[in-house]
Each structure stands twice: as structure tokens, then as C-alpha cells.
Amino acid sequence: MRTRPLKVALLGCGVVGSEVARIMTTHADDLAARIGAPVELAGVAVRRPSKVREGIDPALITTDATALVKRGDLDVVVEVIGGIEPARTLVTTAFEHGASVVSANKALLAEDGATLYAAAEQHGRDLYFEAAVAGAIPLIRPLRESLAGDKVNRVLGIVNGTTNFILDRMDSSGAGYSEALDEATALGYAEADPTADVEGFDAAAKAAILAGIAFHTRVRLDDVYREGLTEVTAADMASARRMGCTVKLLAICERAADGQSVTARVHPAMIPLSHPLASVREAYNAVFVEAEAAGQLMFYGPGAGGAPTASAVLGDLVAVCRNRLAESTGPGESAYTQLPVSPMGEVVTRYHISLDVADKPGVLAQVATVFAEHGVSIDTVRQQGKDGEASLVVVTHRAPDAALSGTVEALRKLDTVRGVASIMRVEGE
């Protein structure tokens, strides 16, 4: 074994960073044996230098992250700051000064992964980011390496723990969205400002990363259709139950049937209770991958948290350090298919639509005509009437999303339709 240690700098020392530093210290011998050389924490960039950080030599702490990544003697920079800037500049600067990078930054990778990949390649260094998607669950490496000889057609999963916790609570207790969010916040599953989670931005960033890797093309955050779960009501959840379904916030990346384009989207959807994703509880994540030869694979585990995310970071750290010793690099960007990303209107899916209608004869015929005019075939209709009010619950067969949303627009204009109570896509069949 080489005795000169590999030097690692840590950018950020919050929930994940402090756990990375802790494991690097407590499991130093194991890491050295697995890498073939010891690893040494060479510096830790933080915002608040006065905070006590147990187990970290205070001499390593700095507030000058830029000076740290410019040192020139670093083998690896671990970036767990998050956000676009200063993370992007720090990462590219790290490459320029000869370090490989391990990042957990989904937002940056989804926003501008191409720039990072290019910088890594230009300087002959590695960019690894297993921790950016689904915490501890090995997903990037299986897609990038294990399935490198296969053709992935679909990735479908729960990739945000906060929203899964909220929906699980709504499903199990009948709570409304606000009440479930309050519980998630109280238990530490939701942040003070939950926007990134509940509006689906976090999941959309992960969908962009997964789609790009799965389909060997470039997919950016802006390419991902996104709906959060703030509009999901207790009534939607009850309606899902009546259909033998539950509601999950899903990230779905698909290759079009003709193979000439891909789509990526995040939205709430009803899935059958018999689907394995329906039983993913609390803040867990689970992702289905469908590949031509492999068939259906599922990966499940804790999607967030300091220790699980640190596990993913350290797995990457070992791989990147091995590559440094071998003077090689792992797989870089693979975007050779250059498949375009189609808009949401071209996604083929199913709708569950709940309408408040006038309780009189002929309404169903009118509604059915609108569906037919838009080329949307109806799977089931359930009529309920009471006190002069009536509701129609329609579940469609698969149709392009544009045709489905066009149908809904036309339904809203019918005199006999008093309102569209809810619209939700149905997936997982």
C-alpha cells in the first residue's frame, strides 16, 4: 500500500459534510485498505468557522473555499454545499487545479451538468455524484455502469422523501396537505421553507439527472415537466383509495415508443396498491428501472439524511481515489444519443378526472362526446348523485397528455359541468 495519503478537501460541513468527515476519521483504516492508500482530510470550507465541529482539527477549518480548491495539492474535492453558486465555480476551479470532484449537488448537476463534465474531461479528472439522487441508494452507478450494456426504456420512482412522507401521512390518516406538511416539518422531514420539495423542484432535478444518464443524452432541469403536490387533497386520496390506488409524487423518465425522443416529468399520480411503489412508506425512496434485457429492477432505501448521503459520497470517494492512484478516470458524460426531450403534451398517460355536474339526464352523453372528440377513450365512469348535485369520475385509457388536457379544457366550457374537482394522472400499470 502507498503510504503517502491522498488529500481530500470538504466544501460544506453541515448534516452530510460532518458525517463524511466523521466516517473518514473513524473508518480511516478500512478506507485505506479499500483504496490502497490512506486518505487525509486536508481542509474543510465552512460558512460559520466558530461552530464547534467535533472530531475535526480546527486548523483544517477555513471560510475561504476558493483558496482551498486552488491549493493545487488536492486529490479530491467533496462538494456538499448545494445550490448553483458558488458551488459551480468552486467545482470547476477544483478541476482546473487538478482535483477530482465528488458532489451531492443535484441542483447544480441538473442545471449545468454539461459544464462540470466538460471541465472534468478537460483536466482528466473524475466527476462522481451518486449522492445527488436518492441518498444512499446506488442508482447512478447501476445506471451508468451495471446497465451500460443494456437499453433503459423507463425510470419511474419516488425520489423525494419529504413529499413521500406527506403523502404517506395523508393516505394513512386521512389528513389534508397542510396538516401532513406540519407534521413533516415538526418531525424534521420538511425544511422551514419546503418549496423545493413540495413544488417538485428537488424531484425534477433528480429526474433530469436520471434521464440524462439512462438515455445517454442531455436533460436539464428546464426540460422536466413539473407539478408539486400542494394541490393534492384528502378527497383525491380518498378517490384513489376507491380505485384501489394511492397517490405518490413520481419522477418518470421515458423513452418514446419510436425511440426517437425522451420525456421527463414529476407530478402526483395515482398508482395501484399492488404496485411495489405504493408500499414505500415515510421518507423512503424507491426507483424502478425498466431495461430491454434486464427487465424490471427496483432499488429501495433511505433517500436522504446525513449518514445515508455520506455513505454514497464515501463510495464515490473510494472509487475516485482508486482512479487517482491508477492514474485513470471512470466513465464521463455519455450523451451520444442526443435524443431530444419532448414536451409534456407528447407524454402518453392516463387521467383520473372528477367533475361536478348538473344532476340531469344527458350529462354523461355530453361529457362522453367531449372525450370522443379529443380522441380520448374512456376506461371507466362512476356517477354519483345527491341533493341535485352530481359528480362524474372518469378514468381514461392511455392518450397523449395534450389530448387529455384539451379534453379537460373543453369539459370546463360545458354548461352542465359546474367544475373540475380534480385531475390526476394514473401510472404504474
Subset of 330-389 contacting a second copy (CB under 8 A):
331, 334, 336-337
Nearest to 349 by CA among 384, 303, 395, 296: 395
Is residue 322 a contact point for a second copy (CB under 8 A)?
A: yes
Residues 81-140 that bind a second copy (CB under 8 A): 130, 136-138
| Contacts (CB under 8 A) with a second copy, residues 257-296 | 276, 279, 291-296
Under the binding rule (CB under 8 A), the answer on residue 314 touching a second copy is: yes
Closest CB to a second copy among residues 80, 424: 80
Active site residues per annotation? 206
Q: How many residues bind a second copy (CB under 8 A)?
A: 58
Q: At closest approach, how far in Å is the CB of 93 from a second copy? A: 25
**349: nearest Cα among 296, 425, 407, 264:** 425
By beta-carbon proximity to a second copy, the closer residue of 88 and 216 is: 216
Complex with a second copy: residue 68 or 312, whichever CB lies closer: 312
6-11 vs 76-79, strand pairing mode = parallel
Query: CB under 8 Å to 121, separation ≥6 — which residues?
Result: 332, 333
d(C-alpha 252, C-alpha 204), whole Å? 9
Please pick, from the candidates 44, 101, 104, 312, the single residue that binds a second copy as defined by CB under 8 A.
312
Residue 393 as a binder of a second copy (CB under 8 A): the answer is: no
341 in the Ramachandran plot: left (φ > 0), alpha (ψ -120 to 50) or beta? beta
CA distance 166 to 408: 27
Task: Work out the burial of residue 402: count CB atoms within 10 Å of its CB; fewer than 13 is exposed, 13-18 middle, 19 or more buried.
Answer: middle
Region of residue 187 (left: phi > 0; alpha: psi -120 to 50; beta: else): alpha
CA pair distance 327, 350, nearest whole angstrom: 50
Instruction: Give the dihedral sign, CA 428/181/265/148.
Output: negative
Least distance CB 232 / a second copy (angstroms): 25
φ and ψ at residue 256, rounded to 5 degrees: -65, 155
User: Taking CB under 8 A as the rule, does residue 315 contact a second copy?
Assistant: yes
Q: What's the closest the beta carbon of residue 149 comes to a second copy, in angstroms?
A: 2
What's the distance, CA 345 to chain centroid? 21
Please identify which residue in 150, 179, 282, 333 interacts with a second copy, judged by CB under 8 A. Answer: 150
**239, 268 in Cβ contact below 8 A?**
no
Other beta carbons within 10 Å of 233: 15
The answer to whether the CB of 13 falls within 8 A of the CB of 21 is yes
Q: How far is the CB of 240 from a second copy (least distance, A)?
A: 20
| Beta-bridge partner residues of 380 | 395
Looking at the Cβ atoms of 53 and 216, the one nearer to a second copy is 216
CB of 87 to a second copy, least distance (A): 21
- CA neighbor of 211 nearest in space, from 249, 262, 148: 262
Site for a second copy in 215-234 (CB under 8 A): 216
How far apart, in whole angstroms, are the C-alpha atoms of residue 152 and residue 143?
8
Question: Which residue's CB is nearer to a second copy, number 90 or number 136?
Answer: 136
Q: How far is the CB of 151 from a second copy (least distance, A)?
A: 7
Matching residue, cell 408500499: 279
User: Which one among 307, 348, 358, 414 touches a second copy, defined by CB under 8 A?
Assistant: 307
Q: How far is the CB of 176 from a second copy (least distance, A)?
A: 27
Q: 158: which strand partners? A: 286
- Phi/psi of residue 400, nearest 5 degrees: -60, 140
Which CB, 103 or 311, lies closer to a second copy?
Answer: 311
Given candidates 34, 71, 123, 275, which one binds a second copy under the rule CB under 8 A?
34
Q: Rounded to the nearest whole angstrom, what is the least distance from the CB of residue 175 to a second copy in the complex? A: 23
Q: From the CB of 96, what's the least distance to a second copy, in Å?
A: 22
Q: How far is CA 406 from CA 4, 326, 371, 393, in A?
A: 65, 57, 9, 17
Task: Report the C-alpha gap between 253 and 427 in whole angstroms.
Answer: 12
Q: Among 326, 361, 386, 415, which residue interacts with a second copy (rule: CB under 8 A)?
A: 326
By CB under 8 A, name the one of 2, 30, 273, 412 that touches a second copy: 30
Q: Which is nearer to a second copy, 110 or 310 (CB)?
A: 310
User: Interacting stretch for a second copy, rule CB under 8 A, among 7-15, 30-38, 60-68, 394-402?
Assistant: 30-38
Q: In this chain, which stretch among 3-11, 50-58, 178-186, 317-325 interacts with a second copy, using CB under 8 A? A: 317-325
By CB under 8 A, name the one of 100, 153, 311, 354 that touches a second copy.
Answer: 311
- The answer to whether the beta carbons of residues 238 and 259 sit under 8 Å apart is no
Residues near a second copy (CB under 8 A): 19, 23, 27, 30-31, 33-34, 130, 136-138, 141-142, 145-151, 216, 276, 279, 291-302, 305, 307-308, 310-319, 322-323, 326-329, 331, 334, 336-337
